[in-house]
Amino acid sequence: MWRWHNSGRNGTVAVPRAAWLTESQLLALLIAGLLLIRLALYGWLAGGVAALPTALCHWDCDWYRGVAVDGYARHPKTALDATFGQASWAFFPVYPGLIAGTARVLGVSALVAAIGVANAALCVFAFIATKYLRLVSPAASGPALAIFLFAFPYSFFLSLPYSESVYAALAMAAFWCLASRRTLAASGVAAVLSATRVTGVLLTPAIAWPYLLAMWRALRRGDRGAAGNAFAAALLPVGLAPLGLFLFMLYLYIHTGDGLAFLHIQRAWNRAGGDPIMALWQGLTQFDLFSFKPRAGESQTLNVLCAVAGLSLSAWLLVRRRYAETWFLALSIVIPASHGLDSLARYTLAQPLFMVFLFDAIAAARSRLLFWGVIGLSVPLQLFLVRLWMQHYAFLH
Amino acid sequence: MPSCTDPAPRAAVLLAALGLVLLLGELGVLGLSLFHPRVDAYYRSYYITGDRNCWLQDGQAKAAITDLLAARIEVAALSPHVACFLLDGGWSDMEKWGVWSDGRVASLELPVLAGSQRLEVTLIAFSPRDRQSVAVFLNGVAAGRYFVSSRQVSTLALAVPPGAAGNLLVSFRIRHPAAPSFSGRLTTNGGSVSA
């Protein structure tokens, strides 16, 4: 009853296909299997599955858990310790909201719920990514992309109690809707995305772009009626896309008195707005790649090199005329860089579009050896990074 | 030709109106957040305008200042947050022994009791020459120019302006800022006056 279904570009990956299963069902099974293998390996690294939640919860995890359990504080922290002056307002509400809801419905701890939500979102992200890539790169192999996403070294962040995977799933869903010309659906997803992380709001110009283009073309041919129609049609999608961010701002304004508290509170982490180009240049010229102490802090040079890789991929997307993706990926790197280089490696390498189009670039080489070579190198590297994460190596933070 | 009572155009108009309402509401939230934040002066000066290097909650700030009134204040002996609160601007990072100024002007915001007449400031100046020229301002009014010996502890005696009570802003304007370094060369870090 099993037959081999070759959906890969030049046969990159061949998976057995049962006649009674649809391709989507088979893909879902593959993703579930990959997740089980990943969690089993992580559990092994943590010394047991029961120890896994605690082993994975470091740094921002406590903030998300705090918001899920206690909600947002009205004032910054006043205890005279390292967190003095900081507040949870920098952590957007969708992920902690999902944690709180899951913990209440399933009757589990907030930490278990945080890991459950993150890994469920990882599966959704992997599934939608295959659908999206099939639209923009028809020869791409869904199963191969799923394997790549689970193997990619920095994709371990999508299994951590961080908002990365929820953000990735929502961003991918929004781009899938855009690619399949369901603009209003894309706007609805973008609204939720903008309440997941501030860079989610970057989808709004991408959603507005086709309408602006239609208006411009109508005006060029002197058709004011068509231009007016395009303007009117743009109002709801453009108004809807950033709604999540503005609702969060309204909440913060009522709760703390400062609607931009999510931005202003960055000061307590020594993140101040500045010139991203200068910041990237200064980081690059630190030359601390071999001298930084990975247990104590980050390498600015490594962070910048990751950002440069992300920007290079953006340039490749621009050449391919994927304008919305170019905009979103490039700005998702440049905006955090304007507030400092900390965590820039994570912001770039765990970016959903970065991972998907890195796979597409590798698949474009049409080499089965290259693909499996990358997977063969990625898996041990990812496990190594997870081990370091569990040991509190601050350069990953 | 479709009329305005047709369901399709009517739905389009309703959706556009809904979009317009959303956009106006969002603009309203943005305007409130940008132009009318409901926060105290301490929060504003640290988180929003960036005028200060640190933040204390309103009550904490008042309590800290009350504790310091009429006492000899040694910056290095204070908790970092309270010390940072007194260092109004123009200072480098705190060190165990005190803090260097950073740039041409450095200011302290000191609590003083009503009726105080005299303020003593103990500092160490640095200059590649023998002396550093420092002009002192109290609440923005010139209180004198001093030539302070380099690398030595000096004390400046200043007259508190009549009527000064609460916070007194003490500003040091350094004529030739220079930075000491362990190798004896000038660096861009540190400064010329320490508190």
User: Each residue of A379-394: pLDDT tens digit?
Assistant: 999 999 999 999 999 8
CB contact under 8 A, A246 and B37: no
Q: How many CB atoms lie within 10 A of CB A202?
A: 23
Position B127 scores a pLDDT of: 83
Q: Under an 8 A CB cutoff, do B32 and A259 touch?
A: yes
Burial zone of B182 (CB within 10 Å; 0-12 exposed, 13-18 middle, 19+ buried): exposed
B13 touches chain A (CB under 8 A): yes
The rounded distance, in Å, linking the Cα atoms of A363 and A161 is 30
Query: Which pair of structure tokens corresponds to residue A91?
Result: 């952590």
| Range from A46-55, A165-174, B143-152 carrying the lowest mean pLDDT | B143-152
Q: Using one digit for the tens of pLDDT, what is the confidence trace for B169-178?
A: 899 999 888 8
A238 touches chain B (CB under 8 A): yes
What pLDDT score was predicted for residue A390? Answer: 95
Q: Which residue has the tokens 């061949």?
A: A14
**A47 is written with which tokens?**
């010394």
Q: For A254-280, what is the mean pLDDT?
A: 89
| Residue in A75, A236, A257 closest to B18 by CB | A236
Cβ contact, residue pair B60, A238, below 8 Å: no
Nearest to B20 among A235, A250, A261 (CB): A235
Per the model's pLDDT, the better-predicted residue between A289 and B187 turns out to be A289
Q: Which pLDDT tens digit goes with each residue over A41-50? A: 999 999 998 9
Query: How many C-beta atoms lie closer than 10 Å to residue A197's C-beta?
Result: 22
Helix (H, G, I), strand (E, B), or coil: what is residue B119?
strand
Indicate the residue of A75, A234, A258 with minimum beta-carbon distance to B37.
Answer: A258
Mean pLDDT of A295-322: 92
Name A262's Cβ contacts closer than 8 Å, sequence gap at least 6.
Answer: A89, A90, A92, A198, A248, A249, A252
DSSP letter, residue B47:
I
Q: Do A259 and B21 touch (CB under 8 A)?
A: no
Q: For chains A and B, count residue pairs whose Cβ atoms are closer than 8 Å.
A: 90
Best to test chain A binding among B26, B42, B48 (most A CBs inside 10 Å): B26
Contact A18, A36 (CB under 8 A): no
Distance CA A237, CA B22 (A): 10
Q: Which of A56-60, A168-172, A295-299 has the lowest mean pLDDT?
A: A295-299
- Give pLDDT tens digits for A187-244: 999 999 999 999 999 999 999 999 999 999 999 999 999 999 999 999 999 999 999 9
Residue B162: pLDDT over 90: no
The pair of three-digit structure tokens given for residue A192, joined into one six-digit string: 């939720």
Q: What is the pLDDT of residue B100?
A: 85
Q: What does the pLDDT average to over B105-126?
A: 83
Q: State the SS3 of chain A.
A: CEEEEECCCCCCCEEEEECCCCHHHHHHHHHHHHHHHHHHHHHHHHCCHHHHHHHHCCCHHHHHHHHHHHCCCCCCCCCCCCCCCCCHHHCCCHHHHHHHHHHHHHCCCHHHHHHHHHHHHHHHHHHHHHHHHHHHCCCCCHHHHHHHHHHCHHHHHHHCCCCHHHHHHHHHHHHHHHHCCCHHHHHHHHHHHCCCCHHHHHHHHHHHHHHHHHHHHHHHCCCHHHHHHHHHHHHHHHHHCCHHHHHHHHHHHHHHCCCCHHHHHHHHHCCCCCCHHHHHHHHHCCCCCCCCCCCCCCCHHHHHHHHHHHHHHHHHHHHCCCHHHHHHHHHHHHHHHCCCCCCHHHHHHCCHHHHHHHHHHHHHCCCHHHHHHHHHHHHHHHHHHHHHHHCCCHHHC
Q: What is the arithmetic mean of pLDDT over A60-77?
A: 94
- B9 CA to chain A: closest CA distance, Å? 11
Exposure letters A61-85 (e unless 16+ CB within 10 A, then b): bebbbbbbeeebbeebbbeeeeebb
pLDDT at B110: 81
Distance CA A286, CA A265 (A): 27
pLDDT, tens only, A101-159? 999 999 999 999 999 999 999 999 999 999 999 999 988 889 999 999 999 999 999 99
Distance CA B148, CA A325 (A): 60
Interchain CB contact of A198 with B (< 8 Å)? no
d(CA A8, CA A146): 12
Interatomic CA distance for residues A288 and A365, integer angstroms: 33
pLDDT at B80 over 80: no
Which residue of A201, A215, A267 to mutate against B (max B Cβ within 10 Å)? Answer: A267
Give the model's pLDDT for residue B59. Answer: 66
For residue A344 the two structure tokens come to 């820039």
A272 touches chain B (CB under 8 A): yes
What are the C-alpha distances in Å from A324 to residues A142, B44, B89? 22, 36, 43
Average pLDDT rounded to a whole number, residues A157-185: 96
Candidate from A114-118, A151-155, A247-251, A339-343 with smallest mean pLDDT: A339-343
In chain A, which residue's Cα lies nearest the Cα of B14? A236
Tokens of A181: 């010309």
Of B19, B46, B79, the CB nearest to A238: B19
Which SS3 state, helix, strand or coil, does residue B172 take?
strand
Asked if residue A4 has pLDDT above 80, the reply is no
| Residue A63 pLDDT | 96
Instruction: Report how far residue A15's alpha carbon sits from residue A12's, in angstroms, rounded to the nearest whole number.
Output: 10
Reduced to 3 states, what is the DSSP secondary structure of residue B111? Answer: strand
Residue, of B190 and A120, whose pLDDT is higher: A120
Tens-digit pLDDT profile for residues A359-385: 999 999 989 999 999 999 999 999 999
Chain A: nearest CA to B191, how far in angstroms? 21
User: What was the pLDDT predicted at A2?
Assistant: 32
Please tell me the predicted confidence (pLDDT) of residue B184: 32
Residue B114 pLDDT > 80 = no
Residues of chain B in contact with residue A239, where contact means CB-CB under 8 angstroms, are 18-23, 26
Q: Which of A44-48, A278-282, A301-305, A384-388 has the lowest mean pLDDT?
A: A278-282
Confidence tier at A344 by pLDDT (50, 70, 90): very high
Q: Which long-range contacts (CB under 8 A, 24 or more apart) does B10-16 make?
A: B12/A232, B12/A233, B13/A232, B15/A235, B15/A236, B16/A232, B16/A233, B16/A235, B16/A236
| Side chain identity at residue A47, one-letter code | G
Say whether pLDDT at B52 is over 90. Answer: no
Three-class SS state of B52: coil
Chain A residues with beta carbon closer than 8 angstroms to that of B53? none
Judge whether B124 and B151 are in contact, CB under 8 Å: yes
